[in-house]
Structure 1
């Protein structure tokens, strides 16, 4: 028989303390998602104490999470035992672009026969939201549009129903977050074609069940972001066109 003291009073949250393993996983998941969404810029140094303060947790789960992210090549270690978001280099751009087009192209091909009318409604709404975000500009443009861009692509990729390929795609996006954020800022500065024009072309090809057209639209979409960064690399003073930081 339970004592009255064991029964939560009405209105109490009745939440149990977060276990060590759960807390570590949650800290890792939040930092991982922040990197995918481009919350951090290339070259940003991530300090354990600062992150622990922002996440309102101890330093141990943050240290463990950063170690995992270093092993996933999303972050790189520095000699002073801190870590940073990798600098954007031409070699890294080329390597990531090739890998993303290859793997994500396969995801699109697998997803194509599984996409429904409801899926296309979702994809179109995400595009509308993204266009509105670009029209409003603002300092959070990179973060907002990066998150919408991720929602768009992963809605398609989950339709591929591949438990093996999804983690691979997530790893590539984890390494590309700062690049996509930077590209969004450059696009916002330069203007030109709508940022989602390749997304609309991709939707059109998927609705027509055209795998070749869908792959071309995906390739164009991925390449545009990377090409924007390449152009900035060539213009960046003092880098010899080899690397660029945030800003």
Structure 2
């Protein structure tokens, strides 16, 4: 009998930590992480859509007031974006959107064309009719928006939806995070290109999007890769032609 009592007490003691720890799942730690996620996603979306100018300094207090949160989640979110190379930390501890430089432009454009082109090539073998119809719907809506001269933010949202519908179809857990990081770094370039775009090349804003859709319909990986590369380089080529860049030394 004493042995049974001891065993029962031992079982109670082993179970106790679980009973004590379970309420912790709903304590404020989770709420703080939720605020951080909200702040991070808001800043991330703004960077991808080119809301910020190149070289713009982001002050923690200003961002916190704008988002109506405390400074801690803003500081953490900005730190994460610095580690992802979407933002850069300056010696005076301020944080800014990276400057537009020719070296950075060339590197980001090259990386995007390589990685996103490969994702589109993979998607060409996996995409189904429903996904193709969704790409056409997004592109048609984009065309209607351009006919009304929509805002840069709206255009950026359609462009993002179109491309990532393709990249998610590729189903690569390795390529997708790389693409997301490259889009974060591309934001200032895309904003600058949108500001100087005047349609002089004679192509519609969705010209290459329709080419991408056609390549995916034919399940042609090479054509999909080329069309995505052409779409990406259209904006970067515009910047190469129109913007003066300071002289740089390549590392």
* TM-score interval (norm. to shorter): 0.7 to 0.9
The reply on whether 1:48 has 2:60 as its aligned counterpart is: yes
Measured against aligned partners, the alpha-carbon deviations of 1:174-213 in whole angstroms (never above 9, x if no partner) come to: 1001212222232247573101101101111110111111
8 Å contact kept, 1:146–1:184: no
Given the alignment, which residue of 148, 173, 184 partners 2:194? 184
The reply on whether 1:99 has 2:111 as its aligned counterpart is: yes
In 1, Cα distance between the equivalents of 2:176 and 2:130? 21
Given the alignment, which residue of 2, 23, 31 partners 2:35? 23
In 1, Cα distance between the equivalents of 2:128 and 2:199? 36
8 Å contact kept, 2:88–2:96: yes
Given the alignment, which residue of 220, 223, 239 partners 1:229? 239
- Give 1 or 2: higher helix fraction: 2
Give the count of matched residue pairs. 222
In 2, Cα distance between the equivalents of 1:199 and 1:142? 17
Measured against aligned partners, the alpha-carbon deviations of 1:24-59 in whole angstroms (never above 9, x if no partner) come to: 122112211211121212121111111101110001
In 2, Cα distance between the equivalents of 1:220 and 1:199? 10
8 Å contact kept, 1:233–1:241: no
Q: Give 1:194's aligned residue.
A: 204
In 1, Cα distance between the equivalents of 2:168 and 2:198? 29
Q: Give 2:175's aligned residue.
A: 165
Larger radius of gyration: 2
In 1, Cα distance between the equivalents of 2:167 and 2:61? 36
In 2, Cα distance between the equivalents of 1:27 and 1:51? 9
8 Å contact kept, 2:86–2:184: yes
| Change in 2 beyond 3 A, CA 1:186/1:50 | same
8 Å contact kept, 1:111–1:160: yes
Using the size of structure 1 for normalisation, the TM-score is 0.83
Given the alignment, which residue of 71, 77, 82 partners 2:83? 71
Given the alignment, which residue of 116, 141, 144 partners 1:129? 141
In 2, Cα distance between the equivalents of 1:241 and 1:231? 15
In angstroms, what is the RMSD of aligned CA positions?
2.0
In 1, Cα distance between the equivalents of 2:186 and 2:89? 17
Structure 1: give runs of 5+ residues left out of the alignment: 1-15, 243-247
Q: Which shows bigger deviation, 128-137 or 97-106?
A: 128-137
Q: Give 1:212's aligned residue.
A: 222
8 Å contact kept, 1:137–1:188: no
Structure 2: give runs of 5+ residues left out of the alignment: 1-26
